[in-house]
Structure 1
Amino acid sequence: MADTLLQSLPAEWHLSEPELFTETHTSRIIMVRLEDGQQAVVKQLNATGMENELRGTHYLEWHDGHGCVRVLKQKDNNVLLEYGGSRTLLDHLNEHGDESATLIFTDVFLRLQETFRSRKPVTPGFVPLRKQFASLFKKAEKDRNSGEQSIFVEVAAIADRLLSNQRDIQPLHGDIHHENILFGKRGWLVIDPQALLGDPAYDAANMFYNPVERTDLRTDQKRIAAMAEIFERVFKRDRKDYLEFGMSHACLSASWHDEDENFEERDRSLAVTEAIRDILKSLA
């Protein structure tokens, strides 16, 4: 197996000790050693990954190691990445609690914002945030045409307003969650971006929806309110923006699950949507 993996990697990179870490519908993640013995990661993209995930390298290159792992090399469908570490923010949450994990996230997020504040030019290839919301708008239109004033219709209107009034438009990770934030030699770093373009409040608001298996946290209104307060205090922006983006993202996720006819996950996502909506109503 190791020999087969090694043969699939660019010989000029002089990698060794390849070990398959995981395989997804878009890529194989292979742990390797560099010439100097340091650990690194190869993300080997399949056809789906080349179409949908290669642009993630643009996000990592734009940040150049500020708050996220570095791209070391890239050739064809192989992306050689800095090893971010084995400890996730979910591990930290499980050991030290949700508030501590949230505060670590805010530190990471502020580091990511430094790239935008440096006025570094943005390369083409990022997906506009409005395109990300296509499934929600499609579902809302279907419900509206059938005469159903569903939660999808309600939240799609809010999402449309948010997307028409975006601030500080910049490259976004697009899928920040507790298992995409790792601790290693350079501290806490983000991995595995989707590479969107839009309002950074959307990235931060993803945290309301996560960890994805912790329904007890995702639907806990005290937790939602506390996280929104932290975001307002640390990021100096009205908590309502984060709550509305969080509600919109949860409803977007529900629309994806509805398309896949995964109705159990759709309903779990809608439970998050409704919990955040209740907090917003309490602020009105």
Structure 2
Amino acid sequence: MNQSPAETALSRAMIRWSLTKATPVAETHTSWIFRVEQNGRNYAAIKILKPETAAEERRGSLLLNWYQGEGAATVFDMHGDTLFMEWLDGGTLGEPARAGRDDEATIAISTVVANLHRPRADAPEDLIGLREHFAALFATDVRVWPHTARDLYARACGIALKLFDRPSAAIPLHGDLHHDNILASDRGWLAIDPKGLIGDPAYELANVYRNPAGATALAANPRRIAALTDAFESRLGYNRKRVLGWAAAHSALAACWDLAEGNPIATDLAVLPLLLSAYDQA
């Protein structure tokens, strides 16, 4: 019987890294993930990238490897489009945030970002610049936005252009950092699934403001926006106006992505006006 691409890649990984047992854990639109055993005792993970998205995902995988386990899951080895990784069996940071412990989550995010942004030599090549990452924002026809929200879109575009016109130092960025991309482990909270961008460090925090998923009431709270910004300014030293500017621009960008796919944008419609207001006052 012919093996599927995932089965073939898994078989080769089991031999290459002397693994003894594999259990399917998840299949996403970009990868297959297995929990594997080493010597019948220690758990690890095998992540196999799907061919149709491998080029994009490979960029993030190389960045994950570059972090060397500081603030992120450790990549033990890579071969082609297969990653041999640290197994993280804890829940996501979204769980305490949704359970009323958002302050705890904010401190954890600050610690993760501080570790991810530590200076390191030999950054991966082919990281995507923020201007390219934001292409969909500027390419979107304003008429696809609800009539009452088109001014929000226009304002967010203006802020993004202003940020690009006043560039800061550019560093490698996770690019999709939010509560449910941060998992618990015996080493603390660790990030997974980076996109592999390069640009303003303050952009790293943008997606946090519209998360965790399923907690729109939390995200659309001016006091919460202020608390996040205070924490990121005091713990990371990032300029609050740039942080809020990127948060607003990213909220509009995420809405453009969702509109293009026919998805609702209720969370961003609730959060974006508050982010714009906080930006004005910063």
TM-score (norm 1): 0.88
Matched AA of 2:203: Y
Match of 1:39 in 2: 43
Q: Distance in 2 between matches of 1:234 and 1:108?
A: 11
Are the aligned partners of 1:10 and 1:75 in contact in 2 as well (CA < 8 Å)? Answer: no
DSSP 3-state at the match of 1:14:
coil
| Structure 1 partner of 2:106 | 102
Q: Is contact 2:94-2:213 (8 Å) kept?
A: no
**1:161 equivalent in structure 2:** 162
Q: Give the deviation of 1:95 after TM superposition.
A: 4.7
Residue 216 to residue 95, structure 1, CA distance change in 2 (3 Å): closer
Structure 1 residues 88-123: Cα deviation after superposition (integer angstroms, max 9, x where no partner): 212232456111110111111111222x2x5x1223
Residues 85, 185 of structure 1: 8 Å contact kept? no
Structure 1 residue 56, shift from structure 2 partner = 1.1
* Distance (Å, rounded) in 2 between the aligned partners of 1:149 and 1:193: 31
Sort the Cα spacing of 1:38 and 1:96 in 2 relative to 1 into closer, same or farther, 3 A.
Answer: farther
Q: CA deviation at 1:9?
A: 3.4
Look up the equivalent residue of 1:214 and give its one-letter code.
A
CA contact (8 A) 1:25 1:48 kept: no
| Residue aligned with 1:42, SS | strand
- CA-CA distance at 1:67 after TM superposition: 1.0
Matches of 1:150 and 1:92, distance apart in 2? 34
For residue 276 of structure 1, what is the aligned residue in structure 2? 275
Deviations 1:160-206 (A, max 9, x none): 22123232311100111111111212222111111111111111122
Same amino acid, percent of matched pairs: 31
| 2:181 equivalent to 1:180 | yes
Question: CA, structure 1 residues 19+112, in 2 after alignment: closer, same or farther (shift >3 Å)?
Answer: same
Is 1:152 the equivalent of 2:145?
A: no
Query: Over residues 250-275 of structure 1, what are the superposed CA-to-partner deviations in whole Å (9 max), with x where a residue is unaligned?
Result: 1000000111122x2x2322221112
Give the Cα–Cα distance (whole angstroms) in 1 for the partners of residues 27 and 168 of structure 2: 37
Question: Shift of the alpha carbon at 1:49?
Answer: 2.7
Deviations 1:54-92 (A, max 9, x none): 111221222111111121121222111112332221223
Residue identity opposite 1:195 in structure 2: G
CA gap 1:141/1:92 in 2 versus in 1, 3 angstroms: closer
Name 2:22's counterpart in structure 1. 18
Partner of 2:253, secondary structure, is: helix
Contact 2:93 2:105 in 1 (8 A): yes
Counterpart CA distance in 1 for 2:236 and 2:198 is 19
Q: Please tell me the residue identity of whatever aligns with 2:195.
A: Q
Give the residue type in structure 2 aligned to 1:107.
T
Q: State TM-score, norm by structure 2.
A: 0.89
SS of 1:55's equivalent?
helix
Question: For the Cα contact (< 8 Å) 1:135–1:256, is it kept in 2?
Answer: yes
Q: What's 2:198 paired with?
A: 197
> Could you report, residue by residue, the CA deviation over 1:134-168 in whole angstroms, capped at 9, with x for unpaired residues?
1101116778xxxx963222211211221232323
Query: Aligned to 1:9, what secondary structure does the other structure show?
Result: helix
Alpha-carbon distance in structure 1 between the residues aligned to 2:75 and 2:88: 11
Cα deviation, residue 130, structure 1: 1.0
- Runs of 5+ unmatched residues, structure 1: none
Contact 1:170 1:197 in 2 (8 A): yes
User: Aligned partners of 1:91 and 1:261: how far apart in 2?
Assistant: 28
SS in 2 for 1:41: strand
Distance 2:62 2:164 in 1: 23
Measured in 2, the distance between the counterparts of 1:279 and 1:81 equals 40
- Unaligned 5+ segments in structure 2 are none
Aligned length: 274
Using the alignment, how far apart are the partners of 2:128 and 2:38 within structure 1? Answer: 32
Amino acid at match of 1:182: L
- Partner SS state of residue 203, structure 1: helix
Other structure's SS at 2:140 match: helix
Task: Tell me the SS of whatever aligns to 2:184.
Answer: strand
Cα separation, 2, equivalents of 1:12 and 1:100: 40
